[in-house]
Amino acid sequence: MLRLKLNSTSEDSSSIPLTSEYPLAVRSFEEVIFEIIIGCVLCLLGVTGNGLVCYVIHRSRYTKSSMYFFMAQLAVADILVSSISIPLTLVSTYPRPLLLLQGDIPCKMVRFLQYLLPPASVNILTATAVDRFLLICYPLKFLYRTKVKFLAIFCWVSAVITAMPVLYLVNSRPVTLNNEVYKFCAIKETSSFPKLGSTYLTVRGILAFLFPLLIIVLLYYNILKTVWRKNTIKSRKRRNVIKSLGLVVCAFFVSWAPFSVISKYSILVEKRYDTISRAELITFWIGLSASAYNPVIYAFYNKNFRDAFRDVFLRRKERRKTPVTFNPNVKAMKEVVEGTIPDLKSGAPILLKHVRVA
């Protein structure tokens, strides 16, 4: 196990707990290569799969409901996780971080983005559950398009608000590693507020993870009760949609649950830099992998999405391949049919002309 020693600063550096901010560990060359490969694969799958989801939802005629609007928002959040959080995690946890990330401003921006995107996904999942609950259980109170857009904006704004304390709580701290001094992003604890960072992480975990999970479970429980009571064709279709949404929710929370538990445990036992565990880093990567699951779930469990995919790609491809034939023995004929009908208001005759091309 690696022992880290913090350089002395104006604040009580030795009291900085190891939380989700610092999954640092000395890794072998094979471990680093394996982590880079996993990161690149997740990045590629997340960006490609969720980009495809956004394109299908945008172009298909089958995906114009509010549910698919929230699915597109979730796909955007997953694209940002795959294209921003995963590369930054690779760089920020490497023993020799890039010079670009050394300094307070890069440190704060990196952590801000990492703390922004997962709560945004949670908020969107909660908004989707609220939308389905109102539509199925209280159809007369469903969300109009303007309210849906307002709710989506609220999801992103609230995620920004919950992540903003990170801009104050973290800074770049010197760390001695193998007799060399490096700078890493750490939660700063002062003598006036020795538990400020730990308190923030605990409150954030409750507000951004446990509380939304409770709301989602309650909403889907009521949705399932309502849908399963009916045996109509429409209800059976809704069951399949609810199943796919439930799998998306389960995949997200199951992926992030281990990291949430371990990071909170490290706070409770006041885990320090000198007892660093790889468990936090491993579970953090498991959480990031949630950004690549949703397109697979949609493909296997959402019939409407499969129909939309075929509508956008397969049928368009078939139309392009269909040859346009011309028979020289058949001449184009134009037939003009003329007639009159009385105007409904004035009674005056209206001349009609119909052109037919054969």
The DSSP annotation for 118-146 comes to HHHHHHHHHHHHHHHHHHHH-GGGPPPHH
What is the rounded average pLDDT of the residues 293-312?
86
| Identity of the amino acid at 166 | V
What is the rounded average pLDDT of the residues 72-97?
82
Q: What is the pLDDT of residues 186-239, one digit of tens each?
A: 776 665 666 777 788 888 888 888 899 999 999 999 988 888 877 666 667 777
> What residue has token string 């704004």?
157
| Identity of the amino acid at 58 | H
Q: In whole angstroms, what is the distance from residue 167 CA to residue 105 CA?
A: 9
The encoded tokens of residue 353 equal: 């002309």
Q: List, in order, residues 6 or more apart from 122 with CB less than 8 Å away.
A: 208, 209, 212, 252
DSSP H/E element including 196 = helix 196-205
Q: What's the pLDDT score for residue 158?
A: 93
| Identity of the amino acid at 18 | L
pLDDT-wise least confident of 171-175, 188-192, 223-227, 337-341: 337-341
Whole-model pTM? 0.75
Q: What is the pLDDT of residues 117-130, one digit of tens each?
A: 889 999 999 999 99
Phi, psi torsion values for 74, nearest 5 degrees: -65, -40
How many other C-beta atoms are found inside a 10 Å radius of the C-beta of residue 166?
25
Q: Looking at the DSSP assignment, which residues form a beta bridge with residue 353?
A: 338
Phi-psi region of 157 (alpha: psi -120 to 50; beta: other; left: phi over 0): alpha
Nearest to 113 by CA among 164, 150, 58, 73: 164
Q: What's the pLDDT score for residue 252?
A: 92
Q: What is the CA radius of gyration of the chain?
A: 28
Q: What's the pLDDT score for residue 277?
A: 61
Burial of 130 (0-12, 13-18, 19+ CB in 10 A): middle
Distance in Å from the first CA to the final CA of the chain: 83
